[in-house]
Structure formats: structure tokens, C-alpha cells
Amino acid sequence: MVFEPLLLPGGGATEMCVAQELARCGPLEMVGVQRWPFVALGKALEVIPRTLAQNCGANVIRQMTVLRAKHRNLEGEGG
């Protein structure tokens, strides 16, 4: 990633990060019906890691819970 700064992590990590940020900031910073498109986009972005987990035969609910928890912990560390 040092040589290619435009390179993004795979496996749905980028989508999960953006989804978590939208879920966190959307309801806090928007009021009324303006927040719902942000929440809907966040949920839609979670489809990619969910599909990848399903395709590899993992327990989808458990994996999505673990991924959400990891991304919440990364937010607290400044990541």
C-alpha cells in the first residue's frame, strides 16, 4: 500500500468501513427524513461482505457480527 496509495483492502473491508461510518454519523448529524438515505446506503454496502461470507461457507450472522465489532474497535483506536 506504500507504493500504490489508491489500493484498497479487499474482502469487503472498505464497504464495511464505509457502512459503519454511515450508520454512526448519519443518524447523529442528520435530522428527520434526511438521515434515512444514509442508513439505507450503509445497510446496502453490507451486502458485499455478507455475500463473500456466504460464498465461502461461513456462518454469515456470526461473521457479520465479528466484522461489525472489529470495525467499531478500529474507530475507537483512530483507524
Q: How far apart are CA 12 and CA 61, in angstroms?
A: 15
Mind listing the pLDDT tens digit for each residue in 7-47?
A: 777 778 888 888 888 888 777 777 888 888 888 898 899 89
Under a CB-based contact definition with an 8 Å cutoff, are residues 18 and 45 in contact? yes
Q: What is the mean pLDDT of residues 50-79?
A: 82
Under a CB-based contact definition with an 8 Å cutoff, are residues 22 and 42 in contact? yes
Q: Which CATH number fits domain 13-76: 1.10.3720.10, 1.10.560.10, 1.10.730.10, 1.10.800.10?
A: 1.10.560.10
Q: 3-state DSSP helix/strand/coil percent for the chain, to nearest 5?
A: 70, 0, 30
Answer yes or no: pTM beyond 0.85. no
Among 1, 5, 15, 7, residue whose Cα is nearest residue 71: 15
Q: How far apart are CA 38 and CA 25, in angstroms?
A: 9
Q: Which residue ranges make up each domain of the chain? A: 13-76
